[in-house]
Amino acid sequence: MSGPKLLVVDDEEDILELLRFNLAGEGFQVVCATTGEEALGKVKSDMPDLILLDLMLPGIDGLEVAKRLKSLPETRGVPLVMLTAKGEEEDIVKGLEIGADDYITKPFSPKVLAARIRAVLRRKQTTPKEGKEIVSVHNLIIHPGRHQVLVKGKAVELTFTEFGILNFLARRSGWVFTRSQIVDAVRGDGYFVTDRAVDVQIVGLRKKLGSAAQLIETVRGVGYRFKG
């Protein structure tokens, strides 16, 4: 088969078989793993085009697997779709913070799941890469190529999503963006999001940026802008 290669990670054998059968029927190459450790090993040995990852795994759980994948330059850009029985808003926020490209809850429709996977892959192919030029504003420096942020010369550890939001806003200093516009720019059109999820990202950014936090301004009733 020549379709996109998916790494599907779930510890429930019946669900894994259901996913394998339906996704293969949709034209995808499907590689399976039942633990976080196995998933990380398979990513290293055979890089997939997308990872479908259950959160509730024995040993290394799905959130930890996602964090490790998003922390490494070689796997950071691999699209990641969370698949879980958890449907609470807090879990959606966690997925956003780590850098998931979509979030699907069980039970699910195999047809809808396949469509969502194709949409994520399509966005990854068509979304233009953000500029690689360094952004320097006051005591804040953003290195897109290194995925690094410095405040007064000290490195600030940001999540995948926090970095994407900061980089997006900082390159459009003075412009006001709604929460939906921010997420569309970082994730692609149609990504599920709540107002609270974006607000959580901004709160986290401000805490980590310290003295540079005032560069991100809340525009009441609209959204956020970067004050350069």
- Domain 5-126 coded CATH 3.40.50.2300: yes
Whether the CB-CB separation of 214 and 163 falls below 8 Å is answered with: no
pTM above the 0.75 mark? no
Q: What's the confidence (pLDDT) of residue 151?
A: 94
CA angle (90 as vertex; 88, 92 as ends), nearest 5:
75
For domain 135-226, give the CATH number.
Answer: 1.10.10.10
Per-residue model confidence as pLDDT tens digits over 167-201: 999 988 889 998 888 887 776 555 555 667 888 88
Q: What's the confidence (pLDDT) of residue 183?
A: 80
Mean of the per-residue pLDDT values of the chain: 85
Residues of the chain with pLDDT under 70: 1-2, 86-89, 91-92, 125-132, 187-195
Sequence ranges of the chain with CATH classification 1.10.10.10: 135-226
What is the 3 state secondary structure string of 113-138? HHHHHHHHHHHHHHCCCCCCCCEEEC
Q: What's the confidence (pLDDT) of residue 209?
A: 95
Whether the CB-CB separation of 78 and 48 falls below 8 Å is answered with: yes
Q: What's the confidence (pLDDT) of residue 193?
A: 56
Q: What's the confidence (pLDDT) of residue 86?
A: 67
Sequence ranges of the chain with CATH classification 3.40.50.2300: 5-126
Whether the CB-CB separation of 224 and 182 falls below 8 Å is answered with: yes
